[in-house]
Structure 1
Amino acid sequence: MARPLRITVVTVLGFLLSTLVDLGFDTESRLGLDTLFKIRGTQTPPEQVVIVAMDEASETRLGVGQDLTRWREFHAKLLDQLNRQGASLIVFDLQFIASNPSVDPMLADAMRAAGKVLINECVQKFRRGVEDFYGREECSDRNKMPAISREGEPATSLSEQLVVMRKLSPIPAIAQAALDSAPFYLINDSENNPIRESWTFYDALAEAPSLPVLAWFYYQQASSDNPDEQPLSVWLTAQRRTCVNSPKLDNRAKKLICEGDSRYLNYYGPPRTLRMESYADVYEGKVEDLQGKVVFVGRANRQFSPGKSDFFPTPYSDSHTGKMAGVEIMATQFANLLENSFIEIPAAGWLVSSVFGLLIALLLVSFTGWPGIVLSLVFASAYAGSAVCLFGQHHWWLPVAGPLFMQLPLSWLLSLAWSRYDLMCERGRILEFVSRVFPQWVGMLPAAPGQWTETANAGIARSEKDVSGLCLATDIEGYTTIAAQHSPREMWELLNTYYQVLGHPVVSHDGVIADVTGDAMMAVWFDAPVSNQRRAACLAALEMAAAVASFNLSSSQEALATSIGLHEGELTLGSLDAGTSSHYRAIGDTVNTASRIQGVNKYLGTRILASHSIAADLDDIVSRPVGTFRVVGRTEPVTLVEIVGLKHGSDTQPNEVHRIFADGLAAFQQGLWTEAARLFQAALAIDANDGPSHFYLQKTLAYCELAPLEWDGIFVLDGK
């Protein structure tokens, strides 16, 4: 599958999964937003907001119990206390639906005298007539009645889909005495669902403003000393309906009135984070420092009491903190208006999720396997950190649950599946190539279990083949000593891993593993242009040396020092019968010479040696001559070069050590022992670990004392 298509598939599937799960389970709010609140922790609320809690202690001290109408005889004195201390605005989260003739006139007089009291209006919500009813506090059962009845069929229930809302005003005496009134109705009907957002205007109630919004506008009007003739609740409703640009409104007010009907609440912490004073303490004059404060009066237990009504879960709710009273939520919304600190969504969630998924897909497709997973994890961590930081500093809510817990794992699964698919395709191509000539060599390669069987390969021809090719031989220095220190099982496990590391570069550069015996491996290249064979073999040798070095670093066993030799010539590839079994091998002088060249490494202290013709025309391979040798079992001398590495960019300057060594080698081959010794010492002064310089310096110093009788520049090796 092409890369652009894979990127598209990862992005689209991840986005669809996160969207569908969020639609079904509201994960972005439950897991995302709530987690962001808890990571951020509590924040300092504005000092202008104070809650006067009608709590358990006040119920006991004042002897009022649960009947809200009995509290009214104390509200008048409470208003006097608040007014005397200079409270800027007093907001009752009470609805005053039922009358109490004995105390209502006194309360009305106190409200009228204060001139800054706002009260709550009851909102009732009906579904299916009277069968499903909801209303806060004093919207009691005695006010329950069908909101709509059909003429002639008064007992007929309404359709289940029909939802009706209506507003019940306070009793006239209280309503006329208050400065103004507005409803405060929470978005969630159930007291078991967390409250995350709150209405600013109620479109279902003729565009009426919510009580916190009304309080904020009155607070702003009082601050600017700009009173209006009509009640602000009526004026705000008119403004909401028309959204006319009024010169009295700043941009914040215009946005609040004309854009949307709800806001996500920015909670400052768990219940009782806002300043909360006991009703009885304020009533008795024990609380000071209320000058200029906006005071919210309502039912709010100071200790968590699960049996109480009008308490709701918030993102901070748990078994320790409990639920939050409705009056605290109202005060929180007002505080957010005061500080302009609602939780904002800076960009559409689908857009952020799409961009996140696209970047993750780019990383996973560009860097296949574990590197891509690690990079995507780093990016996802950076995104999560940014989301937490933006939430804490700017109150911006970026989606985190969908991207991190759905899009990211799904992208990982798809990436790993595709990596496995690509690996199987590559193995299939390798197996197909090898099977055309040597089907039994398939067992040498890391094929998938069950893909190749002895039965499946039995019918393939097993004839020998003469080719002109290149042979690569490897050996482990000191293998006998290492093997003596371990059990056969331990050596098998070590070599099994070692040969997987050693064989991969051969296969990746189109070579064929011809033989593995003990500590030695033989690989061949054939049926390709000579220059291609040479270059592929040199690259494979360099990668093998690097892979073995990494393997030795990660292994807890002894290091397996591997030497490599390369030679080219005529080969015979075919089957050798031994008893009842057959084994494919590469046979010929080329194979033996490659093995002997490999053995020269231990004399020169090198890792990769090759006959000089192999690297002669390879411009991107760095090599250097190391002399001419007559190896054991071969009469013809072989001129060798060390394969050093790859050339990088335009850097064609010869290595200084290599240049000095080449001059020393030329002097050595001419029999100029003193000059050769000086040059080899100069090379070692630059690189004390240069193996060929060490070897030739020792030989030169020996020849200075006793020169060979006949010297043709060829060094004769008397061992493998």
Structure 2
Amino acid sequence: MKSLLKVSKNCLSILLVGILGATLCLTDRFVALEEDWGLASLFQLRGALKAPEHIVIITINKTSAETLQLDEDPEQWPRTHYAQLVDKLNQYHPSLIAFNIHFSEQHATKNDAVFALALASHKNVLLTSYIKQFSLRTAPVLNELTYERIIHPVTVLENAAIATAPFPIPKSLSTVKQFWTQKNSVGGVPTLPMAVFQCYLLKETYGDLLPLLQKLNPGLYNTLPASFEQLPKPQKTFQDIQSALTHNGTSLEQLDHFIRSASSTPEKKRLLHAWRSLINSNHSLYLNYYGGVGAINTIPLHHVLAAASLNAELLKNKIVLIGYSTDIETEKNQGFYTVFSGNGEGNTSPVEIAATAIANLIDASWIKPLPTYNQFFVLMAWGCLLIGIFRISPYKISLILIVALSMIYLGLAYFVFITYCRWMPLLTVILQTGFICLFESISHLRTLHQVSARYLPKNVFTKNMRHPDAMDSYGELMQGVCMASDAGQYTALSESMNPMALSILMNKYYSAMFPAVKACNGLISDVIGDSMLALWAKPVADTQLRIDACHAALKINAALQHFNQSPLHQLPTRLGLHYGEMRLGNIGAIDHYEYRAVGDIVNTATRIEDLNKVLGTRILVSGGVIEGLSGFMSREIGEFILKGKSQPITIFELLGKGNHPDPKLAPLLHAFAKALQLFHNHEWSKAQKAFVNLNKYYPNDGPTLFYVQYLQKYSPLLQEQNNTLQKPVIEIGQITQSWRYLPLDAE
């Protein structure tokens, strides 16, 4: 049940993180970042494309103005030059000609008439209008009201052209990324790229559409001429035809069937598919740039007008766009910044942007971002996948998997972009991946610190992380207290219990001990079976270390008394504390180190702990630990040479807190001190009598019983000692070989 609940929580957290990440990535800020960096990166990776074959630009540059000896402002040129240009271009049978030049100002009537005659005679020229914004101030608060209006070419030219359309360019803070197919702010009129596409489509497929139109809308069919050239306004006719073929679902189905089954040429079928794609598209499309400046076939104007003849195939059946380059009237025409402008190629002229948009429409190659709901699903699924990998895999393997999956995703995004002009989220996925990896790395590091803190002090872990190559030499010389512990009856329990049950018992046992050490600022250095080693250490001597160690010993004793109230298992525990110098640092070699204390203090503390077995006590401390401390009850036990040692050490029993003994213990402590003084004075018989007498009243006092038995056994030998200037020293290594007294809880 717990496992199922944990899995459910993990799944829910993964889903919530995925949804949150996807939602954030679809905000306006992230979408703008994706446009500026993600889309631009895909263009840069892809590089330039082959120029579209059906588009040619006639550019009006500074050289053309100088060669033709005309004004630098092309709008001021005599319009007879534009009439001459139209006539010259039509000698090479272009499909359409579109001027991205404004002819809204009235010029010489004769010149306008000549230009209008050229337009009307060829019936394949579109002119550009422009959108102007006006402001009105309304009383009484004088709020400013803005509106837009189309400024058309002069009437004689507008009537002669087959269509007129504006070409507004949506520009972000940095680059031109999109173009409009229609401008809703002025009544939804088609823009110049869309108008050119509509006229080109209608001209190329007019004969193919008539049979379908005859079937779907006979009324409109009967009003149409037999050929495209006979249409007075092709753009208006196209809009009527589109309305007739797309006004309901049935008509769209029939249009789809017609496009699939049409026996037209591949070029015409491609145009029809592009048209069908546009019907359900947004009115703002992303430009698919072919490259930087000059990526589309471009001919300077003076090459056309000044040349006797041109290559016959250069303009045949092509769409010819005429417009300014960026080097003419630079103070008015700075061009636009595109995704390729940063490569040192300069800004792109409006006519090149228009040509790019028209080519995109004809080829249906405009960049198509994933629909919002698909983006949400992709980003959510990606976030869930990454979080899921971190949840089920080790950290290092997770990073490797995520790097591999990220490379696969980037490769897929690039393939889809260059093959299908489909734009998958790129930067948002990278940011999402980076954020999740950063979050999981911080979480991993936090977990690593939490786990390491159970084995190493945080400062030690941090130092070793910073200098892993110096681990074998890491260590500091310290002054402090070492506490050794040992549990009675552990050997018997380990023989009778299975390892799992014993492990559970010992974890509970240490759960009672460790908090006392931590609460008193101690460090648990080592745990082996039933033994614990705890340290209180600083680089310089500090009385507080000894105070904390004594408090910890008393807390441990109290906690274990409560622990041992269990009727199942008891682990009576002995503690030994010693004060001195130690080296605290890493001990080990090659690929295994442990952080522990090294020095005589460790061995001595262990021997003092072991002395509890002989004396029948719980907490023994050396004189160095208790000397000079107030606030603790203790009694001196005597001078001992511990097993394996050569120097004597004064041992005290730590009994509790407070400067005054418990009234129940006061008589015992007073009588024991007097008897021990007799022992120290080498008055063996008197000392023996005193301890025997004390044992009658306190038969359970271990140190008293120890001295009774010790004096009974070694009194003859002690009588032979003549040195009364030194305190008598008890060598534990000798007496334990034949010692008959052991406390009841000893192993």
Residue aligning to 2:428: 402
SS in 2 for 1:460: helix
Residue aligning to 1:205: 186
Q: Check 1:240–1:214 CA distance in 2 against 1; reply closer, same or farther (3 A cut).
A: same
1:518-667 mapped onto 2 (5 Å cutoff): 580=624
* In structure 1, C-alpha distance between the alignment counterparts of 2:444 and 2:54, rounded to whole Å: 60
The Cα offsets for residues 477-522 of structure 1, whole Å up to 9 and x where unpaired, read as xxxxxxxxxxxx9x9768377444x79xxxxxxxxx9x9899xx9x
| Pair 1:495 & 2:502 matched | no
Q: Check 1:15–1:38 CA distance in 2 against 1; reply closer, same or farther (3 A cut).
A: same
**1:207 and 1:237 in contact (8 A); partners too:** no
Aligned partner (choices 428, 444, 460) of residue 552 of structure 2: 460
1:667-682 mapped onto 2 (5 Å cutoff): none
1:407-422 mapped onto 2 (5 Å cutoff): 407-422=432-447
2:49 is aligned with what amino acid? Q
* In structure 1, C-alpha distance between the alignment counterparts of 2:198 and 2:189, rounded to whole Å: 14
Give the aligned length.
469
Q: Check 1:412–1:336 CA distance in 2 against 1; reply closer, same or farther (3 A cut).
A: same
* In structure 2, C-alpha distance between the alignment counterparts of 1:450 and 1:120, rounded to whole Å: 88
| Pair 1:270 & 2:292 matched | yes
Residue aligning to 2:395: 369
Residue aligning to 1:336: 360
1:31 is aligned with what amino acid? W
Q: Check 1:60–1:341 CA distance in 2 against 1; reply closer, same or farther (3 A cut).
A: same
**1:44 and 1:268 in contact (8 A); partners too:** yes
Decide which structure has greater helix share.
2
* In structure 2, C-alpha distance between the alignment counterparts of 1:174 and 1:450, rounded to whole Å: 99
* In structure 2, C-alpha distance between the alignment counterparts of 1:279 and 1:173, rounded to whole Å: 24
| Pair 1:223 & 2:200 matched | no
Question: Which TM-score applies when normalising by structure 1?
Answer: 0.57
1:295-314 mapped onto 2 (5 Å cutoff): 295-301=320-326, 307-309=331-333, 311-314=335-338
* In structure 2, C-alpha distance between the alignment counterparts of 1:427 and 1:299, rounded to whole Å: 70
TM-fit CA distance, 1:275: 0.4
**2:162 and 2:235 in contact (8 A); partners too:** no
TM-fit CA distance, 1:251: 5.2
TM-fit CA distance, 1:362: 1.1
Residue aligning to 1:353: 379
Flag structure 1 segments of 5+ consecutive residues without an equivalent.
130-145, 470-488, 504-512, 522-571, 589-720
TM-fit CA distance, 1:258: 4.7
**2:274 and 2:363 in contact (8 A); partners too:** no
Q: Check 1:307–1:581 CA distance in 2 against 1; reply closer, same or farther (3 A cut).
A: farther
Residue aligning to 1:119: 127
TM-fit CA distance, 1:238: 5.1
Question: Which TM-score applies when normalising by structure 2?
Answer: 0.55
TM-fit CA distance, 1:336: 0.8
TM-fit CA distance, 1:367: 2.4
1:156-195 mapped onto 2 (5 Å cutoff): 158-159=143-144, 162-188=145-171, 193-195=174-176
| Pair 1:317 & 2:341 matched | yes
* In structure 1, C-alpha distance between the alignment counterparts of 2:525 and 2:366, rounded to whole Å: 67
Residue aligning to 1:563: none
Q: Check 1:517–1:274 CA distance in 2 against 1; reply closer, same or farther (3 A cut).
A: farther
| Pair 1:57 & 2:63 matched | yes
TM-fit CA distance, 1:369: 3.1
SS in 1 for 2:235: helix
**2:97 and 2:321 in contact (8 A); partners too:** yes
SS in 1 for 2:293: coil
1:393 is aligned with what amino acid? T
1:367-516 mapped onto 2 (5 Å cutoff): 367-405=393-431, 407-423=432-448, 426=451, 434=510, 436-437=512-513, 439=517, 442-444=524-526, 458-461=550-553, 495=588, 498-500=591-593
* In structure 1, C-alpha distance between the alignment counterparts of 2:233 and 2:426, rounded to whole Å: 43
**Please, which moves more after superposition, 310-319 or 86-95?**
310-319
**2:39 and 2:423 in contact (8 A); partners too:** yes
Q: Check 1:27–1:361 CA distance in 2 against 1; reply closer, same or farther (3 A cut).
A: same
> Bigger radius of gyration, 1 or 2?
2
SS in 1 for 2:147: strand
* In structure 1, C-alpha distance between the alignment counterparts of 2:187 and 2:240, rounded to whole Å: 10
TM-fit CA distance, 1:31: 0.9
Flag structure 2 segments of 5+ consecutive residues without an equivalent.
1-5, 208-226, 260-271, 457-506, 528-534, 539-543, 572-582, 604-615, 627-641, 644-747
What value does the CA root-mean-square deviation take over the aligned residues? 4.3
SS in 1 for 2:425: coil
**1:27 and 1:401 in contact (8 A); partners too:** yes
1:176 is aligned with what amino acid? N
Q: Check 1:581–1:50 CA distance in 2 against 1; reply closer, same or farther (3 A cut).
A: farther
SS in 2 for 1:318: helix
Q: Check 1:87–1:323 CA distance in 2 against 1; reply closer, same or farther (3 A cut).
A: same
1:173 is aligned with what amino acid? V
SS in 1 for 2:127: strand
1:279 is aligned with what amino acid? L
* In structure 2, C-alpha distance between the alignment counterparts of 1:517 and 1:182, rounded to whole Å: 94
Q: Check 1:577–1:240 CA distance in 2 against 1; reply closer, same or farther (3 A cut).
A: farther
* In structure 2, C-alpha distance between the alignment counterparts of 1:451 and 1:163, rounded to whole Å: 79
**1:387 and 1:397 in contact (8 A); partners too:** yes
Q: Check 1:115–1:239 CA distance in 2 against 1; reply closer, same or farther (3 A cut).
A: closer
* In structure 1, C-alpha distance between the alignment counterparts of 2:330 and 2:399, rounded to whole Å: 46
Q: Check 1:103–1:310 CA distance in 2 against 1; reply closer, same or farther (3 A cut).
A: farther
